[in-house]
Structure 1
């Protein structure tokens, strides 16, 4: 009775009857298409992970470079000021002035280094 009721339901709903082999073939086709899509997604995820690692390491490299440019400018300025103070006996003015100059030089070097990082091609034209 159960099989006959299902067949009657299919006929009354207007759905055509499909053989077992046809349904199995369609299921196999859908399964292979799904496998193909999943393989493509895995490949895309692997490629994006490689790109993410590369971009984050490049970002960290640039950050360390910018930080070292700034700190080096301030330390060199302070060192020169301290030496000038010791040599001329004008403490603390030499250290204050040269530390401020080192701070400015560090900012300029950082801006210069950051500009190089964003540039893809060398500037055109010559002077």
Structure 2
């Protein structure tokens, strides 16, 4: 009975070693894939932030221009409302961009400290 047990253990040990080796290779490939996805996620976050900044600038400035032009047409005060709302819109746009940039910097500092 002792010989039978030894014969059974040797093929199982070889199979376990082979399985362990394959699992190690799979784990390495998954770690490489995870690292690649993290780097892609970081670059896509930068693109998303850039698009948000452009959208904030365009929406605030064009929206204020449109409202100013409409008010000037309705009230006959051309170009005063257009100019006033243009400057207010630019101020709001730059304030929003500043807030976006400061949030991004703060989140980067928290990650370094933690």
Q: Taking structure 2 as the reference length, what is the TM-score of the superposition?
A: 0.61
Which structure carries more helix by proportion? Answer: 2
Within 2, Cα distance between the matches of 1:113 and 1:80?
A: 25
Post-superposition offset of 1:108: 0.6
Alignment of 1:59-70 (within 5 A): 59-70=46-57
Answer yes or no: is 1:101 the counterpart of 2:88: yes
Post-superposition offset of 1:42: 6.1
Within 1, Cα distance between the matches of 2:56 and 2:40?
A: 24
Q: Which runs of 5+ in 1 are unaligned?
A: 1-38, 122-127
Out of 43, 49, 60, the residue aligned to residue 56 of structure 1 is 43
Post-superposition offset of 1:64: 0.8
Corresponding residue of 1:117 = 104
Within 1, Cα distance between the matches of 2:48 and 2:40?
A: 12
Corresponding residue of 1:11 = none
Indicate the RMSD between aligned Cα atoms, in angstroms.
Answer: 2.6
Q: Deviations over 1:1-51 (max 9, x none)?
A: xxxxxxxxxxxxxxxxxxxxxxxxxxxxxxxxxxxxxx6986665343222
Within 2, Cα distance between the matches of 1:105 and 1:69?
A: 9
Answer yes or no: is 1:77 the counterpart of 2:73: no
Q: Which runs of 5+ in 2 are unaligned?
A: 1-24
Whose Rg is larger? Answer: 1
Within 2, Cα distance between the matches of 1:119 and 1:70?
A: 22
